[in-house]
Amino acid sequence: MLELALLLTLAAVATKFLGCGLGALNLGWRGAAQVGIGMVPRGEVGIVVAQLGLALGVVSENVFAVVLFMAVATTMIAPPLIRPLFGRG
């Protein structure tokens, strides 16, 4: 289950960074990276949807745990990645 959680977290970071970053390329590479990393956190929405799925019985406790891990991890990963992108220079 930990492997699935890590894989899902990696996919979540990569897809937000690439999808949003590519859409912002007109801002330049730094601006695109800022937008891409800035969109990585997805905590509250993922947790709410997973909780609804768990309550309705369509999501197992294992899947809920994986989604919860991903939501918390992406929320914690973003700030250290954002800081150098918005630093001076």
pLDDT in tens, 31-58: 999 999 999 987 788 899 999 999 999 9
Residue 89 is predicted with a pLDDT of 54
Residue 4 pLDDT > 90, yes or no? yes
Residue 5 is predicted with a pLDDT of 95
By C-alpha distance, which of 87, 84, 83, 75 is closest to 16? 75
| Distances from the Cα of 30 to the Cα of 24, 37, 76, 85, angstroms | 10, 11, 21, 7
pLDDT in tens, 60-85: 999 999 999 999 999 999 999 999 98
Residue 12 pLDDT > 80, yes or no? yes
Q: Give the separation between CA 46 and CA 31, rounded to whole angstroms.
A: 26
What the block records as the tokens of 51 is: 């909780």
